[in-house]
Copies of this chain bind each other. A is one copy, B any other.
């Protein structure tokens, strides 16, 4: 493989009537990293600095879940349903084992994939995410909900949701926005139906269970790297600490003056940290 974030063709693999969209690029024969995206996001909501940075010495696979952006099929309305699509997709590509990089909702899905199919996953990176039934994860605040559910999201929505209010963070957000649009043939936006299905999945995942809160996390035996910004207003940063405290082999990194999209604010540093983690 020699393609990059901006040149890798969008490919499709069809299983049981669902055409999954993905892009594959990168170098080397290491375990491929499968990227699982956030609420409403598609193939072009990643930061080329992150994907190309990791693709220098890892195969990288960007993926749209069923019914999301350019993927066909019906969008799942549970995290478990989304996890099943991920496993179907990985199997369809003939991959025996992968690393997962899940951001936000993608981090919920990554946890569920590992819990249901531990043999399929070598290592996991969880960015801007939280455990099932975490702290203040049952609903977005009204202002977050307003920014997150616009029919056509614009840069101001991402600057509010993903970055801190500081000038530095907002500037980093604008630079990310430019990078993320450098690819000519951008992925199509997700439908409103996909948004509603994902919102239902997020709300269910956020419900605090009556018993055994966080009890599932100790079953995750893989090495896990958890990263977030100092103040994530979508999935409060304390949830990253909680994940680290309950997953037996987990490292936590929280970045300064940043929010949900910290991985896009510090892309080079994030790539350095992920590489150290993947290659330990």
Query: Could you tell me which A residues sit within 8 Å of B by CB distance?
Result: 223, 230-231, 237-238, 241, 244-245, 247-257, 269, 272-273, 276, 280
Contact = CB atoms under 8 A, between A and B. Distances in A.
Contact of A245 (B223, B230, B249): B230
Copies of this chain: 2
Given A244-B230, A276-B272, A253 B255 contact: no
A247 B231 CA distance: 12
Please indicate which of the listed interface residues A237, A241, A255, A276 has the most CB atoms of chain B within 10 Å of its own CB.
Answer: A241
23 contacts: A223-B256, A230-B245, A230-B250, A231-B245, A241-B241, A244-B254, A244-B256, A247-B256, A248-B256, A248-B257, A249-B256, A249-B257, A250-B256, A251-B253, A251-B254, A251-B256, A252-B252, A252-B253, A252-B254, A269-B276, A269-B280, A272-B276, A273-B273
Contacts of A237: 245
A134 B72 CA distance: 52
A252 B226 CA distance: 11
Contacts of A280: 269
Nearest to A257: B249
